[in-house]
């Protein structure tokens, strides 16, 4: 033992006497460090050296914990995320397209050894988004030479509304109430011969917007072979849009909200995502102002046709709220724009009896003679709530500041939410995690070999293309812009997975799936004639997929040559 300077000069007798007087215990410094103490008084050598700063102090526990977390995050970033699929840094998180970022283009070129064709693969916007045709501006200019407030023949509106009420579309898109809108028609046309300016702009815009919306869903209305009176849907939409400045000067109304919602739906099914976002945002603000984001103050169950007017209005506003809610989630994921309807500012209580009746109502189809009384909405509302949460935790501005470890944790939790929803669906309607031409197992859980969310996403993309190919014969006409997002996002996910893992045996099968994607989409989307502008865009989409196939084939060939030496 090394003696301290103070104890070195003591005699043996003094030391013996000192040990007799007290029990030897470690000093505080040595006890804390769990080391042997010389028990010298008044200070041991360790204490003296600590005071003199000759012995380095041990780091604080919080510092060690921070370093440990940093090491874990680095391991997750270096191993898990790269092994699970493509690297986040080269793919646009908002669109999934690697060509929209310079780093993404460099990554594709390094994996394929090919120069990217910028005219085919570097669009200014995603391939599922449409630019408004120049003809729309020409039509708007022509409207200035006529009475823009002039409503079409009332009989046209009544026939089309009657067809809407007696179709499945009224349950899928409950944007109008069969009692309230008849009152709207009456108010819109009662002053038609006197002065159009006496009628509120929201009322007239609601009529124009409905006509435009009815044209957009026309294939689903005319199911019994009866010809409905024709009308120019684009002209009606532009007339409704021309009334928007006046609507914004009025107090929020049911008619104004319905008009904006139907205009947003028209833009969405036409592929004009930015315009759909604008109209949907205006509708959302009016919904907040009128209080439809909160639960209704009166019961809104079964209502008699000409009674309970206030309760009927509140129920209709909640229906429109849910239509806007589901639509916003799709638009946010397709454009990357932030959402307005969040859990913090909306009551997300399901409509009465919705969950219990939803999948029993799925037995109805467009050719049924009877339809469910309760609304179905475009998508399961519970799934839309999960999508909203996914956007908040993965794509919001706050989410972009999260570490990779935090993102991975959020993804795992979202996987659990999705699985709980999936299990809640009745077996006959329950979605499976993979699709094949054989009868799927509805009780199947996580697939064998799928151990990550990104790998699961790629498998879901394969299933999307296989399902569309199998269901092409039952899809209704004119759904190109409604459906294009799903096969295109699936193609991009498969393409990125091939480039990330070109030596994987599955890559060759995925390459064959990309090859069939172009012909499959042509067969689905060209079932009815389109305008010249739309045909040009469809060709651009086909060229996009063809170029993806070429680059994926080059990546596989490059990897094979490098492996062969």
CA–CA separation, 316 vs 258, rounded Å?
Answer: 10
pLDDT tens digit sequence for 325-340: 999 999 998 888 899 9
Give the contacts of 408 (CB within 8 A, at least 6 positions apart).
76, 80, 81
Say if CB 126 and CB 139 are below 8 A apart. no
- DSSP for 229-298? PP--HHHHHHHHHHTHHHHHHSPP-HHHHHHHHHHHHHHHHTT-HHHHHHHHHHHHHHHHHHTTTSPPSS
Q: Which of 283, 284, 147, 164 is nearest to 212 (CA)?
A: 164
Confidence of residue 407 (pLDDT cuts 50, 70, 90): confident
3-class DSSP state of 98:
helix
Neighbours of 304 (CB within 10 A): 8
87 pLDDT above the threshold of 50:
no
Q: Which of 401, 489, 463, 403 is nearest to 91 (CA)?
A: 489
Angle at 415 between CA 410 and CA 416, to 5 degrees: 100
Give the contacts of 262 (CB within 8 A, at least 6 positions apart).
175, 206, 209, 210, 212, 213
pLDDT tens digit sequence for 40-86: 555 555 444 444 444 444 444 445 555 655 565 555 555 444 433 33
CA–CA separation, 215 vs 232, rounded Å?
Answer: 8
Percent of the chain with pLDDT over 70: 65
CA–CA separation, 76 vs 279, rounded Å?
Answer: 41
3-class DSSP state of 366:
coil
**Ranges of each domain in the chain:** 65-81+88-127+446-564, 133-387
Confidence of residue 467 (pLDDT cuts 50, 70, 90): confident
pLDDT of residue 10: 47
Residue labelled with tokens 């037995």: 363
CA–CA separation, 277 vs 363, rounded Å?
Answer: 32
Confidence of residue 444 (pLDDT cuts 50, 70, 90): very low
């Amino acid at each position: 033992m090394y003696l301290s300077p103070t104890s070195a000069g003591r005699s043996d007798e003094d030391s013996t006497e000192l040990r007799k007087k007290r029990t030897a215990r470690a000093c505080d410094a040595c006890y804390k460090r769990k080391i042997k103490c010389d028990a010298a008084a008044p200070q041991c050598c360790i204490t003296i050296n600590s005071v003199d700063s000759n012995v380095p102090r041990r780091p604080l526990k919080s510092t060690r914990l921070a370093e440990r977390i940093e090491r874990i995050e680095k391991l997750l970033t270096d191993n898990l995320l790269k092994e699970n699929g493509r690297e986040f840094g080269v793919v646009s998180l908002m669109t999934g397209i690697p060509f929209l970022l310079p780093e993404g283009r460099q990554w594709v070129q390094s994996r394929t050894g090919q120069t990217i064709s910028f005219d085919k693969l570097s669009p200014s916007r995603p391939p599922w988004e449409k630019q408004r045709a120049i003809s729309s501006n020409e039509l708007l200019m022509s409207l200035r030479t006529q009475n823009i407030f002039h409503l079409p023949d009332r009989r046209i509106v009544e026939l089309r509304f009657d067809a809407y009420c007696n179709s499945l579309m009224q349950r899928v898109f409950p944007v109008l109430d069969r009692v309230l809108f008849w009152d709207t028609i009456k108010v819109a046309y009662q002053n038609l011969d006197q002065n159009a300016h006496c009628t509120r702009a929201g009322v007239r815009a609601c009529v124009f917007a409905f006509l435009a919306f009815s044209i957009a869903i026309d294939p689903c209305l005319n199911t019994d072979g009866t010809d409905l009176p024709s009308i120019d849907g684009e002209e009606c939409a532009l007339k409704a849009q021309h009334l928007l400045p006046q609507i914004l000067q009025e107090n929020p109304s049911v008619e104004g909200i319905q008009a904006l919602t139907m205009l947003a739906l028209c833009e969405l099914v036409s592929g004009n995502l930015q315009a759909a976002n604008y109209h949907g945002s205006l509708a959302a603000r009016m919904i907040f102002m009128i209080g439809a984001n909160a639960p209704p103050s009166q019961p809104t169950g079964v209502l008699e046709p000409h009674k309970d007017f206030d309760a009927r209005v509140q129920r209709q506003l909640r229906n429109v709220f849910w239509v806007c809610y589901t639509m916003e989630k799709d638009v946010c994921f397709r454009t990357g724009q932030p959402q307005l309807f969040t859990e913090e500012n909306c009551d997300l209580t399901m409509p009465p009896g919705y969950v219990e009746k939803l999948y029993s109502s799925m037995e109805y189809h467009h050719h049924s003679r009877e339809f469910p009384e309760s609304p179905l909405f475009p998508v399961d509302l519970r799934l839309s709530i999960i999508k909203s949460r996914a956007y908040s935790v993965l794509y919001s501005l706050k989410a972009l500041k999260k570490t990779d470890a935090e993102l991975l944790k959020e993804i795992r939790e979202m996987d659990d939410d999705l699985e709980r929803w999936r299990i809640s669906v009745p077996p006959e309607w329950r979605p499976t995690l993979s699709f094949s031409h054989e009868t799927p197992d509805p009780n199947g859980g996580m697939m064998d070999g799928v151990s990550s969310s990104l790998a699961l996403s790629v498998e879901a993309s394969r299933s999307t293309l296989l399902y569309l190919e199998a269901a092409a014969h039952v899809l209704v006409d004119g759904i190109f812009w409604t459906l294009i997002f799903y096969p295109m996002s699936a193609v991009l996910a498969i393409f990125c997975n091939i480039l990330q893992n070109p030596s994987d045996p599955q890559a060759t099968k995925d390459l064959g799936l990309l090859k069939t994607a172009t012909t499959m989409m042509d067969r689905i989307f060209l079932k009815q004639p389109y305008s010249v502008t739309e045909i040009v865009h469809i060709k651009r989409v086909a060229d996009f997929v063809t170029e993806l196939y070429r680059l994926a084939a080059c990546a596989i060939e490059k990897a094979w040559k490098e492996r062969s030496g």
